[in-house]
Structure 1
Amino acid sequence: MAGGRDLQLDALRAVAVTLVLYAHFLAPGGTSFLGHLGVRLFFVLSGFLITRLLLEARDAAQFVPGPALRSFYARRAIRIFPPYFAVLALVWFTDLEQSRSSLAWHALYLSNFWYALRNDWNPWLLCHFWSLSIEEQFYLAWPLIVLLAPRRRIEAITIGVICFSLAYRFYWPLTADPALARDLLPPASMDALACGALLAVRRARGAGVPRWMRLGWPAFAVVFLAVVWSDPGPANSTWEWPRWLLVQVLPLVPLVAIVAACSNGLGGRLGWLAELPPLLLVGRISYGIYLYHPILLAYAVKAQPWIPLNVSEQGPGRFLVAGAATLIVASLSWVLFEKPLNRLKRYFPYIARPRAHAPSETRRFGATYPGAKAALDLRPTDRS
């Protein structure tokens, strides 16, 4: 059953990355709220999965904080770093779109600060790294809280992080400054990450999502769509800032409810759709899709003279060519690069395995005492 639930979470990853591809390849004008929604869904998923994993490690009988922390960071590095730094190396050697000058910031997972401080999306080629930087900053800090804070305080801390993030959003209308920093600094995304974490914390104590959220999320979704499709009005209009706040906050309730439902396992036709093999494949390689897609778009645009379809502008041609190239490269990366490296995770278990008993003990006593092996198996396990 656990495997089935995680399959459906893979389907949500596929939905999230498809929304991003739509925004970057197909949406008119090059922008779309759907891309933003896809990133927010990734954040809720990450917060839920990482917190669930850490709580399971903490609640195990053999849990020791230090080894668990080291294993977490090692496993994250194995999963994330190789393709990430391969992309940076490619950009460095080719200086694609004159991106070389900012690579130190990206290599340190400070992309969000780079774009926020400059208040500019150049180099555009690596602008999607802002969200990867947010996640890495979350991965650095959050395990310290989940594994080291008093267990009974974790839920309160998670709620506090959500409240702080919401308060941060209300600061910006007071400044009347629509700078990129309002969306790129860590507090702007901590609400989505912490909402996913809160779901995992509640699930660990058997609570799940509140009833009002389970029943009311469709209403939040309808209001969100109405706000998105409303006329934003001229710059500095009365509606501009409330609209921005609502677009950021309203999706959290539907996203958390959907992640909760899929983590429980959807049944019926929805469950069947959520476990279609093509959807699961896209979800499995979603990290590579997200990582590589702007790089491949840049190469597609350079190759426009040899491509019969229009890839230089948003539209079906770009979506078809750059999207297909992204799927192919991400699939090859997963099979030849990421999946083999992921096998190294087995050397970094969260919980130390019990020590195996020396065979010599059984041999020494087995001949004279046939029950020796059973007696050895009944001894208390090593919890260190």
Structure 2
Amino acid sequence: MTNARDIQLDALRAIAVVLVLYSHFLAPGGSSFVGHLGVRLFFVLSGFLITRLLLDARDTGAFAAGPALRSFYARRMIRIFPPYFAVLALAWFASEQSRPSLAWHALYLSNFWYARQNDWTPWLLCHFWSLSIEEQFYLAWPLIVLLAPRRRIEAIAIGVIAFSLAYRFYWPIAAGPALARDLLPPGSMDALGCGALLAVRRARGVDAPQWMRLCWPALAVVFLFVVQSDPGPANSAWEWPRWALVQVLPLVPMMAIVAACSNGLRGTPGRLAELPPLLWLGRISYGVYLYHSILLACAVRAQSWIPINVSEQGPGRFLVAGTATVVVASLSWVFFEKPLNGLKRYFPYVAPAHPRGASEALRFGAAPALDLQPTDRSRP
């Protein structure tokens, strides 16, 4: 069930998290679209991997929806909760400004908090909005994949994408620019839905459509032109179309790239995508994403002890805060996250075909044959 070439998807995680670090540490003025592009790539990857994982479980002869759902949520909690709540605990001690919003973050409602405030306060946890979006997706989508009629799932995924795209037309008609337009769940369901749609197509034996494989480079070029264009004054004729295009145009290139890497790139691109440092960064990308803002805050506070400038966007900040982030995320993975991930073996998606053999396997620390654990790597 596992695609042996999924190793290249770790490279995409690495690229996504580097885009976020570039935006927050290096880009002049904190260029937002670069980091947002990285987050959108994470969404497409998550939609693809979670959907494929659940469809693989559903297609197994011993599948039962109830145990599969329980295992899904248990495994998500094991993977996501420990480092997430560790960061919230650090935020409690490190920043009084963060305390009024901690309950929202703890309930994975960060996106609603910032949309409600229409302000990125507290900035220390502002990147948690995307983690909340994913958790909200995880609450609903597995129910659809595991319980809806199998033949309807592709249509539902297309409907999710269409609803998200239609949501973008609401804002120019009925509202002004606000954080809510990007942070409410419909603003990200198109990216998650695109990844899910790719997985559904793959499950029925077809890949990304031919037109997508042929035209994605042209769409990527158009995207770059749109991003570099002048948005004009507020409420200008170009402002809203530009915003919508910046959100929508990357989706097809991202789907095509995820499809290509999940199949396995060959030649020089494949070798580059399997460079060990890139794969390691992809493996620890969840920790990198979680910890980077707190480590940036620590670096800024320690500026008097650091010989290069970390108080402003630039190479010094990228070097110091970026290095600290990778080191801490690596330690977190080796000593904290990876050992806890071993508990996933107690929550197989599909009941073992031979309970006695599976029991012996668990006793000796092995994963059951139908655990599907290798594909369960949807978080950054």
Distance 1:257 1:357, change over 3 A: closer
Kept in 1, the 8 Å contact 2:160–2:189? The answer is: yes
Q: Which moved more, 1:301-310 or 1:254-263?
A: 301-310
**Shift in Å, 1:176:** 4.3
Distance 1:200 1:240 in 2: 34
Cα deviation 1:313-354 (Å, max 9, x = unaligned): 000010000000000000000000000000000000000012
> What is the number of residues matched between the two proteins?
357
Inter-partner Cα distance in structure 2 for 1:153 and 1:111: 32
User: Does residue 341 in structure 1 map to residue 332 in structure 2?
Assistant: no
Unaligned ranges ≥5, structure 1: 359-384
Q: Distance in 1 between matches of 2:273 and 2:355?
A: 41
User: In the alignment, what sits opposite 2:303?
Assistant: 304
In the alignment, does 2:304 pair up with 1:314? no
Structure 1 length normalisation: TM-score?
A: 0.91
Distance 2:6 2:286 in 1: 16
Assess, with a 3 A threshold, how the Cα gap between structure 1 residues 181 and 303 changes in structure 2: closer, same or farther.
same
Query: Offset of 1:97 from its aligned partner?
Result: 5.5
Whole-angstrom distance in 2 between the partners of 1:264 and 1:208:
9
Provide, for residues 25-78 of structure 1, a one-character-per-residue CA deviation record: whole Å limited to 9, x for no partner.
000001232111100000000000000000000000000000000000000000
Amino acid at match of 2:63: F
Residue deviations 1:355-374, cap 9 Å, x none? 3469xxxxxxxxxxxxxxxx
Question: Which structure has the greater CA radius of gyration?
Answer: 1
Gap runs ≥5 in structure 2 = 358-380
Whether the aligned pair in 1 keeps the contact of 2:124 and 2:293 (CA below 8 Å) is: yes
Q: Check conservation: 1:97, 1:125, Cα contact below 8 A.
A: no
What residue number does 2:124 align with? 125
Q: After the TM superposition, list the runs of 4 or more consecutive aligned residues in structure 1 that deviate by more than 2 angstroms.
A: 1-4, 354-358
CA distance in 2 between counterparts of 1:355 and 1:231 reads 63
Does structure 2 conserve the Cα–Cα contact (< 8 Å) formed by 1:97 and 1:123?
A: no
Contact 1:99 1:125 in 2 (8 A): yes
RMSD: 1.2
Match of 1:204 in 2: 203
Which residues in structure 2 correspond to 1:87-126 (within 5 Å)?
87-94=87-94, 96=95, 98-126=97-125
Aligned counterpart, 1:84: 84
Residue 137 to residue 257, structure 1, CA distance change in 2 (3 Å): same
CA deviation vs aligned residue, 1:283-327 (integer Å, no higher than 9, x gap) = 000000000000100111111111111111000010000000000
Question: Aligned equivalents of 2:34 and 2:93: distance in 1?
Answer: 33
| Cα separation, 1, equivalents of 2:33 and 2:101 | 27
In the alignment, what sits opposite 1:58? 58
Deviation at 1:2, TM superposition (A): 4.6
CA contact (8 A) 2:287 2:333 kept: yes
Does the 8 Å CA contact 2:25/2:313 hold for their aligned counterparts? yes
Q: Quote the offset at 1:237 in angstroms.
A: 1.1
Shift of 1:18: 0.3
- The alpha carbon displacement at 1:98 in A equals 1.6
Percent identity for Structure 1 against Structure 2: 82
